[in-house]
Structure 1
Amino acid sequence: MIFKLRGHAHDLSFKLYDHFFYCDACNQWSGAGYSCGECKFSIHDKCAFLFNMILEIFDHPSHDGHCLKLLTIGAPHHTDPDCHLCGENTKSILYHFSDCKLNLDIGCIDHLRVPWHHHPLQICYIDICDFCNGRGGYGCFCLQCGFSIHGICASVLDLPEINHPAHVRHPLKLLTDGAPIYTDPRCHICGEDTRNLLYHCDICKFNLDMCCASKSPPPVALSNLKVHEHTLTLMPRLISFVCDACGTEGDRSPYICVQCDFMIFHQKCAQLPRVIHVNHHDHRVSYKYPLGPGEWRCGVCWEEIDWSYGAYSCSLCPSYAIHSLCATRKDVWDGKELDRVPEEVEDIEPFKRNDDNTITHCAHEHNLMSLSKDGEESSLCGACVRPISSYTFYKCSESDCSFILHEMSSSREEKKRHFLSPEQLVLSQWKVYSYLARWCDACLLVCSEGFVYGAMFDLVCTSIDVPFIHGSHPHHLLYLKLEDGQFKTCQSCGFDHSKVVLGCVTLPYMVTLPRYDDHPLTLCYGEKASNKYWCDICERETNPETWFYTCSDCGVTLHILCVLGDIRYAKHGGKICEGFELLHNNRSTRPICDNCYCRCPGSFFITLSGQDDVFFCSFYCFKPDRYPYYNEYHAVCPPWAEELEPNT
C-alpha cells in the first residue's frame, strides 16, 4: 500500500518488520509502519496517521476546552520538553498548547476530539472504514455510535462545510452518523449509498456522498456530444423520469435539453458513444434516436426494444438493434469509439491460396498441400484433433512436419467476434507453456492440442451462438454475465458457479466408447428415479437427476466425466505441460492414479515423460491446485475419487 505523508517528498510503503524498527517521527521502536526506499525514512503507522491527518485536537481529556496543535520539530525551547502526562521526552513530534505550555507525546494520544464528529474518537486498528468501505488499518473509532475511519481517509474531512457546484444554493454540512431519516439516504448525484459519511443540506434535503464530494463534480452543462446535437444541462435533484437515450427509468439528477422539449438523459447515457463494435454482431452499430417504428428485439438480452427511445442499430442488417445499455456493457463493448474512424476491410480469411493445390494458413508456418484420403484416415486434424477419416484434408509440404488439417477446419475465420470476449478473437494454434497447463476459459476443460481463439477459448465454445438452442430446454438460452458475489446453479451437474461455465453446454449428445460399449451412448438430461444407478466404468453410484450417458440397447449408465474426462483435445503423446504427456489407456491392465489411487478409467492418462511409474487419471488429479475454480467447480472432481481411502 502506497502512503503519502504530509511534508515528505517521496511515497512511503507499508511494512511489517520481523524485528522492531526506529521511528524518525517519535524516536521510539515499533514493528509496523511506513518506510521510504529513497531516503531511508521510517515512521510508525500511528505516528503517520496523526502526523498526516490530525493537525489539531479539540477538548482532549487531559486538557478539556483547549486545542492542541501538532508540532513536528520538537517542543518549543521555552517549554519543558517532557510529556505532561507520562513524563517521557516528547522527541520530535508532539501536540502542544502554547498558552498553557502543555506538551503531549504521541503515546498519550489514545482519545481525541475532532470538529467533524460529535463524540470522542479512539485511536486504534479498525475492522472496516465508513469512508472507503475497506478493511483493516490504523484509524479512529467511536465507542458511542460505532463510526470508524482510516487515518488516510480522514484527510478529506478537513472541511466540515463545503460549497459544491451540484448544489449552489446552500452550503453542505459534513455528517458522520448517516443521512437524516427524513431524506433519501442515497447520494442525489450518483445514487450510491452514502453510509455514515456524507455532505448534507438540511434545507433542500440534499445528500452528496464522499466520492462525489472529493472527485471532480459532474459538469453543469454538456456540449459537443456524440448522441445529441444540443447542450444538455444538469438538474441536480430527485426527479422521476424515463431516459430518452436508453428507455429505462431514473430517479435523480438527469441531464435535460430545453431545445428538444426536455429530452432527458441519465448521466452515463449523456456520454454514450455514437459508433461502436459489439461482440454479438459482425458489423459496426450506430446510435439512433429514436430507433423508429418496428418490432425490434435486442441482440444481446433478446428483450423487446421500445422504438420511441434511443438504441443502437446496424446499417447493413436492417432488423438488428441493441438496447443502449446492453450495447455499452463492459462484457459486450471493447470501449472504443469508432465515430469518424475509417472502417477498414478486415481480411478474416484464415488462409491464402497459392495455387490450386497449395495454401498458406495463418496458424501454421509451412505451406499446406490439398489431398484427398490417402492413407491418413487414422491421423488427427491439427485444429479439431479428430480423425481425418474419409474427408479431404491439407498436409504440410515439409517432409519432417506431420501437421495435417481438415478442409473444413481450414476455413475457420482468422478473426471473429464472440460473446465470450468484448475484444475481437484471433485464431492460433495451442502451445505448451513451460510448466503451466492451459484450459479453455469458457468450459474450464484442459486443452493439449488444436486451435484456439483469443487468450484461450476452444473451437467448441466459440462455435456457440446466442440465442442458443439446446435439446434439454424448449426455450432459447442466453449468455448470462454474473456480477461479483452472484451464484447460479447448473441444471446439468447441479453445482453452483460464480461464472457461466460452458462445460455442460458443449457436451456432445452422442459419443462412441468401444472399450465399454459397442453401441453409441446418448446424453440423458436427468430423470426422476427411486432406484439407484451405477456407473459401469468406475462402478460407483450415479445421480439420476443430473446428466449422464446411457445406452438404449444395454441400459448402462455412465458418469459424464468417466466417458469424456476433463481434457477436451487429446492425442497420444500430446503434452499437458512441459515434462508431462498423454498416453492411450489401452493397456491390458489399467494403471493406478498416483493421486486418487483408483485405476484410470478414461481413454487417456497423464504420465511423466520417459517414466512408466507416474500416472494421473485426469487433470484434476494431476494438478488440482492449478485448476480454475476447482473448489467451486466440483463437477471436475472424478466421481470415482470421492470418499476414497488411500491405496484402495
Structure 2
Amino acid sequence: MFVWEDDLYYSCTTCDVEFHKDCYSEPKKLIHPYHLQHPLDLIDGKNEAESSKCTWCGSNPTRYYYRCSICSFCLDIYCSYKFPSLTITNPKSHHHLLSLFPRPLLVPCDACGSINRSDPSYACFQCNYMVHVSCINLPRVIKLTRHHHRLSHTPYLSPSSYSCRVCHKNVDDKYGQYSCNQETCSYVAHSKCASHKEVWDGRELEWEPEEPDNSENVAPFKKIGDSLIEHFCHEHHLRLEKYKDLGDDDQEDKQCHACVLPIDSRDFYNCTQCGFSLHEVCANLPRELDHALHKHKLFLDTSPQEVYDDMSCSVCQQRFSGFRYKCKDKNCLLSDIFRIHVGCISLPDYFTHKSHGHPLCFPILELRHKEKIICKVCKKHCSLSHLQCSTTCEFDLCYRCATFPSEVRYKHDKHPLSLCYGEETSDGNKYWCDICEKELDSTEWFYTCDKCCVTIHLDCIFGSSIYMKPGFTFRYISFKVKVLRNNSNTRLICDGCEHRCSAHVYYEVHWYRYEFVSCSLECLEQRINGCLGKIRKRKLSL
C-alpha cells in the first residue's frame, strides 16, 4: 500500500496497475437494486475499445464501472454506491406504500414537477404516483425569508398561469409545489426551489405555532418632539432637516453614517450636539428583517467594525464602514458570518433596473444559467451574488454596479450628475472625464450633466472605496489605518503605486517606524504585506 496526496492506494509490483483503497475493495460481481434481473461485472475501462455511458445517470464513467454482460446495462462507481430500499412504508409524501422504480425516471416527478434521471424514484402503481427519493420527505409547511407568510406543499394547484417566486420560471400546476397559506395571496414556488439549502432554513413548521410579528416592538427610533427623534444607534437627539444647497461647505462634506453616501439632495437627520447624520430613509431602517439574500433573519448592527476582515459585505465583497445587517444564527456564526451593507440590502430580489428592459432577479447559485458570470458593466467576474435577467437575456449585473446611485453631486458642478447607462451608438464625438482627463467610452456607464457637458468615469467619482467614511479608523492585522478625506488642493502620492491619490478618500498608516499613504485598499494591502515580508526576512537573518 502506498500514499499519494493523502490518499491510500494499492499498486502492483509486477504490472502497471493501481487501485484507490476504496476501489480495491469493490466486488467483482454485484447485484444492485437498479438492475435486479442480472448480475453486474466490474469492468476496467482501460481495456475496453468503446466507452460506455452510465444507464442510470447518463454520465461517462471513470476508469472502473459495472456492466451487465447480458443486456449491456452500465452503472458507474458513484451510482453503484446508492442502495435504496425496495419499499418505503408510511411515506411522508403519499398515503400508500411506495416501491422502488428500477429505471431512471424520464417523466416529471409528481412531487416537484422536474425530471432528474440520476435521482432514484419510487412508485405507487395503485395511484400512478411517481416520486424522486429526494422528494419523499419534502417538508409540508415552511417559512422563507422571501415571503412574509408560511408556505404549504400541495400536490397540485388550481388551473392558472403561475410563476415561481424564487427562480421566476413557469410553474406547472399539475405537479406538487409550495403555495402561500393565505387564501388571498398568490405566492407560488417550485418544490425544489423553495426547499433549496440556500433558500430554506431547514425548519419543518407543520406542528409549530405561528410566530408573533414583533416588528413594532423593535422600531429604530421614537419621536420625542417636532422633527426630533431618539435613535437607538446614537446617544444624542437627532433633528430632521431639509437639504439646502452645496454652498454650505459643512453640508457638502456630510455623509450618512448608515449607507456612507453623501447627504446630497434628500432630507436627513442631524445630531443636535455632534456631526452624526442619517438620511431620513436610513433612519427608518428596521432593526431586524427578512431578505431573499439570506435564509435566516437579519439584524441591524450599527457598531463600528474596527477589524479589516469584518468590513467586507458578503454580497458585493466591498469593504465598508457603515451600518450592516448580520445573521445571528448559530450555524452561520460557526462558519462564515453573513453581513451585508445598507446599499445591497435595499435591492429587492426581483425588480426592473433602469439599465435593462426586463426584470432582474437574484438566482440560486447552483441554478445559475452558466458557470462563469461576468458583469455587463464592470466586466469583472461575479464571484458570489449577482443579478441576472429573469428572461433568456444574457444580462448579468454585479451588486456593486447595481447599487450605484442614479444621481450624485460633484463639487465643480452646481447641478446633480445623472447616471448614464451607456449610449447605444457613438456619433463620433469624444467624451473626456473631468477628473482623470482621459477619454471616456460613451457606450459604458458614466455620470454626466447635460447642462454643463460634464462627464466622469464611475471609478473616478467614487474610487474603489465608495463606502469608506472619512474619519473612520480600523485595524489591518496590527497596523492602525486612518481613512482621511482627500480634498486638499495638492493630491498626495501613493506610496504603493506611486500615483496621485485621486479618490475621495485615502489611507494613512502609522506603525512603529512605518509611515505611508495609500490611494486604495488594494495598494494598502500590498504595502502592508510588503512591510510584513521585510520584517520576516529580518527576523530570519538574525
Note whether the superposition's TM-score is higher than 0.5. yes
| Partners of 2:103 and 2:49 in 1: CA distance | 18
Whole-Å separation in 2 of the counterparts to 1:33 and 1:245: 43
Deviation at 1:594, TM superposition (A): 1.6
Give the whole-Å Cα distance in 1 for the aligned partners of 2:196 and 2:296. Answer: 13
Q: Deviations over 1:448-476 (max 9, x none)?
A: 22333442211111111132211111111
Alignment partner, residue 566 of structure 1: 464
Tell me how far apart the structure 2 counterparts of residues 465 and 623 of structure 1 sit (CA, whole Å): 33
SS at match of 2:297: strand
Aligned partner of 2:536 in structure 1 is none
Contact 1:491 1:546 in 2 (8 A): no
Match of 2:519 among 582, 592, 617: 617
2:404 to 487, 490, 507: 507
- The alpha-carbon distance between structure 1 residues 554 and 621, as it changes in their structure 2 partners (threshold 3 A), is farther
C-alpha contact (below 8 Å) 1:453/1:459 kept by paired residues: no
Shift of 1:379: 5.8
Partner of 1:521: 417
Task: Report the Cα offset of residue 239 of structure 1.
Answer: 5.0
Distance in 2 of aligned mates of 1:482 and 1:310:
23
Deviations 1:266-286 (A, max 9, x none): 232223222222342222211
* One-letter amino acid matched to 2:282: S
Residue type of the alignment partner of 1:274: R
Task: Give the drift of 1:427.
Answer: 1.6
Q: Distance in 1 between matches of 2:145 and 2:105?
A: 35
Identity percentage of aligned residues: 33
Among 11, 14, 24, the alignment partner of 1:155 is 24
Deviation at 1:602, TM superposition (A): 1.9
- Name the SS for the 1:240 alignment partner: coil
Distance across 2 between alignment mates of 1:591 and 1:167: 74
Q: Per residue, is there more helix in 1 or in 2?
A: 2
Unaligned 5+ segments in structure 2 are 244-249, 328-337, 387-397, 530-542
Q: Report the alpha carbon displacement of residue 486 of structure 1 after superposing the two structures with TM.
A: 1.6
* Residues 172 and 200 in structure 1, CA contact (< 8 A), matched pair in contact too: yes
| Structure 2 counterparts to residues 98-117 of structure 1, below 5 A | 110-111=13-14
Contact 1:511-1:522 at 8 Å conserved across structures: yes
Helix, strand or coil at the partner of 1:307: coil
Residue 334 in structure 1 maps to residue 334 in structure 2: no
Q: 8 Å contact 2:230–2:238 — kept in the other structure?
A: no
Aligned position for 2:66: 199
State the partner residue of 2:509.
Answer: 608
1:590–1:600 CA contact under 8 A, matched in 2: yes
Match of 2:16 in 1: 121
Mapped partners of 2:516, 2:222: distance in 1: 47
Residue of structure 1 in register with 2:352 after alignment: 469
Gaps of 5+ in 1: 7-13, 15-31, 35-44, 55-108, 112-119, 123-139, 141-148, 628-648
Give the aligned residue type for 1:287: H
- With over 3 angstroms needed to count, the CA separation of the structure-2 counterparts of 1:472 and 1:184, relative to structure 1, is same
Distance 1:446 1:470 in 2: 24
- Check if 1:172 corresponds to 2:40: yes
| 1:384 and 2:259 are equivalent in the alignment | yes
Task: Note the 1:477-626 alignment, pairs <5 A.
Answer: 477-483=360-366, 486-499=371-384, 500=386, 501-514=398-411, 516-527=412-423, 528-529=425-426, 530=428, 532-577=430-475, 579-608=480-509, 614-623=516-525
Pairing partner for 1:320 from 187, 193, 210: 187
Against the structure 1 CA distance between its residues 224 and 412, is the aligned structure 2 distance closer, same or farther, given a 3 Å change threshold? farther
Alignment of 1:141-152 (within 5 A): 149-150=19-20, 152=21
Describe the shift of the 1:305–1:182 C-alpha distance in structure 2 as closer, same or farther (beyond 3 A): farther
Equivalent AA in structure 1 for residue 441 of structure 2: N
| 2:308 pairs with 1:412 | no
CA contact (8 A) 2:34 2:103 kept: no
Q: Is residue 304 of structure 2 the alignment partner of residue 431 of structure 1?
A: yes
Q: Deviations over 1:238-276 (max 9, x none)?
A: 45312222222354752111232x111223222322222
Contact 1:161 1:171 in 2 (8 A): yes
Give, in whole Å, the separation in 1 of the partners of 2:264 and 2:514.
30
* Change in CA separation of 1:250 and 1:497 when aligned onto 2, cut-off 3 Å: closer
Indicate conservation of the 8 Å contact 1:227/1:287, yes or no: no
Corresponding residue of 2:154? 288
Structure 2 CA distance for partners of 1:293 and 1:477, relative to 1, 3 Å: same
Cα displacement string for residues 23-50 of structure 1 (whole angstroms, at most 9, x for unaligned residues): xxxxxxxxx998xxxxxxxxxx9xx745
The equivalent residue for 1:40 is none
Question: Conserved in 1, the CA contact under 8 Å of 2:39 and 2:68?
Answer: yes
Aligned pair in 2 of structure 1 residues 575, 449: CA closer, same or farther (>3 Å)? farther
SS of aligned partner of 1:606: strand
Distance 1:374 1:271, change over 3 A: closer
1:612 is displaced (CA, Å) by 11
Corresponding residue SS for 2:415: strand
SS of corresponding position for 2:349: coil
Q: Which amino acid aligns with 2:97?
A: T
1:404, distance to aligned residue in structure 2 (A): 5.5
Alignment match, 2:177: 311
| Offset at residue 237 of structure 1 (A) | 1.5
User: Which whole-Å deviations, capped at 9, do the CAs of 1:306-346 have from their partners, x for residues lacking one?
Assistant: 21211111113521101112212232222333232333224
CA change 1:616–1:426 in 2 (3 A) is: same
Q: 1:462 to 1:207 in 2, by over 3 A?
A: same
2:343 aligned residue (460, 465, 468): 460
1:454-509 per-residue CA deviation (whole Å, 9 max, x = no partner) reads 42211111111132211111111122345598212322123343442311111111
Which protein has the larger Cα radius of gyration, Structure 1 or Structure 2?
Answer: 1
2:98 maps to which of 232, 240, 246: 232
Instruction: Give the deviation of 1:178 after TM superposition.
Output: 7.5
Secondary structure, aligned partner of 1:447: coil
Q: Please, what is the CA RMSD of the aligned residues? A: 3.8
Q: The residue matched to 1:477 in structure 2 has which SS?
A: strand
Tell which deviates more after alignment, 313-322 or 172-181: 172-181
- Structure 1 residue aligned with 2:53, among 177, 180, 185? 185
- CA shift at 1:430, angstroms? 5.1
What is the letter of the counterpart of residue 110 of structure 1?
T
Report the 3-state secondary structure (helix = DSSP H, G, I; strand = E; otherwise coil) of the residue aligned with 1:268: helix
Q: Is the 8 A contact 1:256 1:265 kept in 2?
A: yes
Q: Please give the alpha-carbon distance, in whole angstroms, between the structure 1 residues aligned to 2:42 and 2:151.
A: 45
Question: CA 1:613–1:549 in structure 2 vs 1: closer, same or farther (change >3 Å)?
Answer: farther
Alignment equivalent of 2:212, drawn from 345, 349, 354: 345
Distance in structure 1 (CA, Å) of the matches to 2:220 and 2:442: 50
Query: What is the CA–CA distance in structure 1 between the aligned matches of 2:307 and 2:116, rounded to whole Å?
Result: 52
Aligned equivalent of 1:631 = none
- Aligned CA distance change for structure 1 residues 341 and 511 (closer, same or farther; 3 Å): same
Aligned counterpart, 1:248: 114
Distance 1:193 1:348 in 2: 53
* 8 A Cα contact 1:255 1:267, kept in partner: yes
Cα deviations across residues 408-466 of structure 1 (Å, max 9, x unaligned)? 43432233222222333222125334353622222232202233344221111111113
SS in 2 for 1:325: helix
Paired letter, 1:439: S
Shift of 1:574: 0.9
Query: How high is the TM-score relative to the length of structure 1?
Result: 0.66
Partner in structure 2 of residue 210 of structure 1 = 77
Q: Greater shift after overlay, 527-536 or 585-594?
A: 527-536
- The residue aligned with 1:440 is 313
Letter in 1 for 2:66: Y
Tell me, yes or no, if the aligned pair for 1:235 and 1:256 is still in contact at 8 Å: yes
Could you tell me which residue of structure 1 aligns to residue 394 of structure 2? none
Distance 1:466 1:449, change over 3 A: closer
Amino acid at match of 2:158: G
User: Is the CA contact 2:97–2:124 (under 8 Å) kept in the aligned structure 1?
Assistant: yes
SS of the residue 2:402 aligns to: coil
